[in-house]
Structure 1
Amino acid sequence: MTILITGVAGFVGSQVARALLARGERVVGIDNFSPYYDPVLKFARVKPLRDNKAFTFLEVDIADREPMLTLAEQHPEVDRIIHLAAQPGVRQSVTDPYVYVQTNVMGHLVVLELARRLSRLKHFVYASSSSVYGANSRLPFRAADRVDHPVSVYAATKRSGELMTETYVHLHKLRATGLRYFTVYGPWGRPDMSPYIFAKAIQEGRPIKLYHLGFAKRDFSYVDDIVAGTLAVLDKPAQEPGHRLYNLGAADSEEIVHIIELFEKALGKKAVVELRPGEPGDMLETAADITETRRDFGWTPKVAVEEGIPKFVEWFKAYNGL
């Protein structure tokens, strides 16, 4: 059978596709190469996938209804969906909200419409975000916590996706699982995320802006762990139609200043730091409670930041010819 992956040129999507192909699955991948960041990185991620005969690539925007819904006729063999396509970025969602609603709300709706048209579909897995926890103050965040107070448009759109999925499960008897990812990093990571920004700034001797006056903390999750968790969930759909939500994170909130120290060590250079107050939409701290994820899927993260950041830096230097 075949797995459909949306956002297959993305950071997580490309590595999920690679892992599925490596274990002998057939994959249909779609992406629209959004210019939110340099598409050259996206093309580079997809290139080795396209060399595999078990991989089919389609350039499609998930919010474009007609080509998306025709996939049900073109690929009726699809029996699982991993929906990872999204417009990322918390801060930009505050200044340019329209594209977030178009991609993350309308796009999610279209993918759900496709899902209900696939007669062989066994499992619909999609990426949510730790951002949905918003103004919640109790840590670590639990999947069962109320998430009524998002603090960014991005977070609101990801919560909208969760609610729409709940409705489609009720109406169309889908088996769906949402995964709240926590700050994924590692090789092939996005250039708009803090690990890439830190590495580039330190390498070039430019200042790093540390928000929340340097007191911010994040649950940094290594990409290989996230891929393993995503596949563990994919392979274990609920026995009955229903909608489940789980956290995928390292379950260890790291001080940003410690992360920068690890980058300094890996790069052999000191960072120049500028302390800034928090910006609208920023969360001060994130931390995942993964008790239920461990219990239900036997998954646990393995790569600590002390190991993962040097691996990221090794890729960063090779990719940029340093």
Structure 2
Amino acid sequence: MWRWNQTSPEDFILQGLFDDSFNHLCLFLLIMLVFLTAVSGNSLTILLICADPRLHTPMYFLLSQLSLMDLMHVSTTIPKMATNYLSGKKSISFVGCATQHFMYLSLGGAECVLLALMSYDRYVAICHPLRYTVLMSRKVGVMMAVISWLSGSANSLIHTSVLMNFLFCGSRIIHHFYCEFPAVLKLVCGNITVYENTAYISTVILLLLPIIFVSTSYGFILHSVMHMRSVGSKRNAFATCSSHLTVVSLFFGACMFSYMRPRSQRTPFQDKVGSVFYSIITPTLNPLIYTLRNKDVARALKKVLRRDLFT
């Protein structure tokens, strides 16, 4: 790939994931294939939920919001990475970096909250099925989505505003493929120990509170399932929760690996691997996990395909 080194003095330099070798070219093509799969899968999930009236329930509305977050998440980081790799231009403007940082942090925080709130939906469906339409009305579903978006955006706005007002010095090389918070924080001049510790604590809280909420919800679910007499009911209950639990495990596991390790134990390579997993792999797997194991979504897909084939 050719290089273009004309950058503004205020630009940041994204180190990226790849070099000019053939192996890295193949890896880049694989990442782009995964990206296209993520965009297609999440877009299809949103369209199916909007198109099929039988999927107009709080559970599927929340699933559509999760797919929207995943779609925006991969679109925030991968296109810029691909553009820089293909053009040889590694720079990103200060405003572009701030925007990218705000978007990915906002979407990540919103997804943490949404996944936690989705566990409450599963709790109501299994533990209080007769009251589901009351406890999980359309209004409650919309409120959950709004809370998720607002909490993620508020947290991201605070961190982005504070971080981007620091003085940056040195080479301005970000050892990452996008403007990730810890990678940008390393470029700040001066003593930022207090802010760094505060940001670390807030990140831990943002991850632990949803995990505690999810664990509590599934604790009640497990207790309720254990008291079910029918083996079929138990099987249906576990089938209902398995997709959500899988997505929760993948997302929170990757986030904890990326953000809850002490700074002394972090390396740029580990940060990149963790980010690739939760910002690319997880958004790709989420729609596959939900659609492949969800009969309602599968029926909606067959209905759409059948209608297209015979029209």
TM-score range, shorter chain: under 0.3
**Larger strand percent:** 1
Q: TM-score, normalised by structure 1?
A: 0.26
Name which structure has the greater RCO, CA cutoff 8 Å, separation 6+: 2
Which structure: larger Rg? 2
